[in-house]
Amino acid sequence: MEPQPAPEEAAAILAALEVLRGARQEKVRPRFSAWEFAARTGRPVPPHVGERDSIWAVAARLQQEGW
């Protein structure tokens, strides 16, 4: 993607993809873990985020906390 999306935009894109994927596949482990989410957005994994939390959950928490 050019130009590189801002961290907030990247989080929104990944969250939207997760929602779309979830609509088609229920009860399937998300493609990206919280660690991959952090790596892609350039942000650290918050200490309370579990390794297997979905990117949707991570994005929602980060947004609530004002990251």
From first CA to last CA, the distance across the chain in angstroms is: 22
Task: Provide the number of structural domains found in the chain.
Answer: 1
- List, for residues 44-67, the tens digit of each pLDDT value: 776 776 666 666 777 777 777 776
pLDDT of residue 36: 75
pLDDT at 52: 66
Which residue range(s) make up the domain with 33? 7-64
Residue 9 CA, chain-centre distance (Å), reads: 11
Residue count of the chain, please give it.
67
C-alpha 50: how far from chain center: 12
Residue 46 lies in a domain: yes
